[in-house]
Amino acid sequence: MTDTARTHLLLHDIDEPGLNTLEAYERRGGYSALRKALGMGREDVLEQLLESNLRGRGGAGFQMGKKASFLPKGSMDKYLVCNADESEPGAFKDRELMQKNPHQLIEGIIIGAYATEANRSFIYIRGEYELQADILERAVAEAQAVGYVGEGILGSDHTLSLVVHRGAGAYICGEETALLDSLEGKRGNPRLKPPFPANQGLYQGPTLINNVETLCNVPHIVRLGAEGWAEVGTSSSTGTKVVSVSGNVRRPGNYEVALGIPTRDIIEGLAGGAPEGRRIKFFFPGGSSSPVLTAEEGLDLPYDFDAMAKAGSMLGSGSIIVVDDSVPVVEVAKKVAKFYAHESCGKCSPCREGTNWTVKMLERIDTGEATPMDIEIMASVQDQIIGHCLCVLGDSMAMPIGSMIVKYRDEFEAHIEQARARNGLGPPVPEAETVALAGAAADTGPK
């Protein structure tokens, strides 16, 4: 964290008043990367994206350049869709990027579309982000007025339309194929893959789908050159990452860091650690769908794609949710399970039923009706969801819940016992003891 100009690309001077207008963005050198890209030729831009090793910031971490290179060549309608349906609990980085610097995203979309020869682009933004959608719509209108979007952009052969499309409140639409269905005007149900969107996506045409933050990085890659951009970060996790830290920390918010810095520096350094007098118990390293890491195992890991995967979790969207020692793990599990049960689209049985039954079992724990055997059953339900559905929504619940059961089994058991006692059900008295007590009672006699 020595050179803030290199570690703060996306958030640099983000609070400058009026940065969301074209005038201020251009004054700061905006759209110069677009001019540079248009002068480079499509293949060279794609080559730069490949070389930068930019990995998707939306969750999967797939290389953006590689994904872009999967699109077939040739003249046909191709689509670029920006996934701005940020609905993962704990994620709010795209919101800040779109609200305060919309032109950075638009420039990234135009360059990304140029590299892949896409002629139509869409920003699918979640319906709740009304302020951000208004700002984006105005920014797109500004860009259109000066010819950054439209036919023959800046005298080149690049033609692009850009539409801001608002969703209407469905977490599942953040899944790329469900997003495409929703954009086509259907219910947001995931599709079977393959075919992958690169071959058959929106309106059955080749489609590149990328997250907001991924596309926001594109102008910087062109501006700095792939090598210059990739100087920051680790060899397999290049660049910077906007990390959303929330939950039990003193300073929740978005922080941009070089990938690979110690997780402790983010949670305890930047976000201030747990509130006074409390200790960090565990955290979700990549949104509520990532398996939890305990403070002991997770805080000293480098924060990058590979280290998180190796620890059995994932970087995901880069959203850290911190839970301190005052919160029972069962409560967290219940919140997570309820969310995914509510948001399951209902298409695949393991997800629809598995999420619902997990909620019911967790509620049984609270009413004291559960037995330690329920933990076994709950763990097996999670195992039966993972990998058995069209999309990963079910997995998104099964992975964190499964990891909580493994790592906090004792607490689950204690919680069950306490709930039984609290609800007057008491621990079942073992048979042998009952006999002995009955005998003893007869001997002492009633007073």
Partner 1 sequence: MDSGGRVKRFQHGSRVPGWDDSVDLGKDPAPVPEPAVTPVPEALRAEIEGYMARYPDRRSAVIPSLFAAQRHYGWCSPEAIDQVAAVMRITPAYATSIATFYDMFETHPPGGHDVYVCTNISCSLRGADELYLAMVAAAESSEDINVRGFECLGACDLAPMASVDGVYVGPLENSDAELIVEDVRAGRPVLEHKQLARRRVADPAANSDDFPATTTIPDTVPAPQAGPPTPPERGHGEATATEDEPAQ
Judged by CB under 8 A, the chain residues 152 through 191 that form the site for partner 1 are: 159-161, 163, 165-171, 182-188
- Closest separation in Å from C-beta 347 to partner 1: 11
Q: Is 89 in the site for partner 1 (CB under 8 A)?
A: yes
Among positions 175, 256, 304, 395, the unique one binding partner 1 when judged by CB under 8 A: 256
Between 54 and 321, CB nearer to partner 1: 321
Q: CA nearest 208: which of 114, 134, 327?
A: 114
Task: Report residue 279 CA to chain centroid gap.
Answer: 25
Among positions 279, 335, 360, 422, the unique one binding partner 1 when judged by CB under 8 A: 335
Between 18 and 372, CB nearer to partner 1: 18
Between 226 and 391, CB nearer to partner 1: 391
Q: Are 176 and 197 in contact (CB under 8 A)?
A: yes
Strands (E), 235-318: 240-247, 253-258, 280-284, 293-294
- Choices 59-67, 121-129, 221-229, 422-430 (CB under 8 A): range interacting with partner 1: 121-129
- Closest separation in Å from C-beta 124 to partner 1: 10
Q: Is 135 in the site for partner 1 (CB under 8 A)?
A: yes
x-or-dash pattern for partner 1, window 203-232, by CB under 8 A?
xxx---------------------------
Q: Is 264 in the site for partner 1 (CB under 8 A)?
A: no
| Paired tokens of 169 | 């409140």
Among positions 6, 36, 138, 352, the unique one binding partner 1 when judged by CB under 8 A: 138
Between 79 and 229, CB nearer to partner 1: 79
Q: Is 21 in the site for partner 1 (CB under 8 A)?
A: yes
Between 48 and 290, CB nearer to partner 1: 290
Q: Are 245 and 270 in contact (CB under 8 A)?
A: yes
DSSP state of 265: I
Quickly list DSSP for 336-404: HHHHHHHH--S-SHHHHHHHHHHHHHHHHHHHT---HHHHHHHHHHHHHHTT-SSSSHHHHHHHHHHHH
Beta bridge partners of 255: 243
**Burial (0-12, 13-18, 19+ Cβ within 10 Å), 433:** exposed
Q: Are 393 and 351 in contact (CB under 8 A)?
A: yes
Between 187 and 360, CB nearer to partner 1: 187
Relative to beta strand 161-166, strand 120-125 is: parallel
Residues 351-390 that bind partner 1 (CB under 8 A): none
| Paired tokens of 339 | 């969310």
Contacts with partner 1 by CB under 8 A: the residue count is: 91
Any idea which residue has 């055997």 for tokens?
373
- Closest separation in Å from C-beta 173 to partner 1: 8
Q: Is 342 in the site for partner 1 (CB under 8 A)?
A: yes
Among positions 46, 343, 381, 401, the unique one binding partner 1 when judged by CB under 8 A: 343
Q: Is 255 in the site for partner 1 (CB under 8 A)?
A: yes
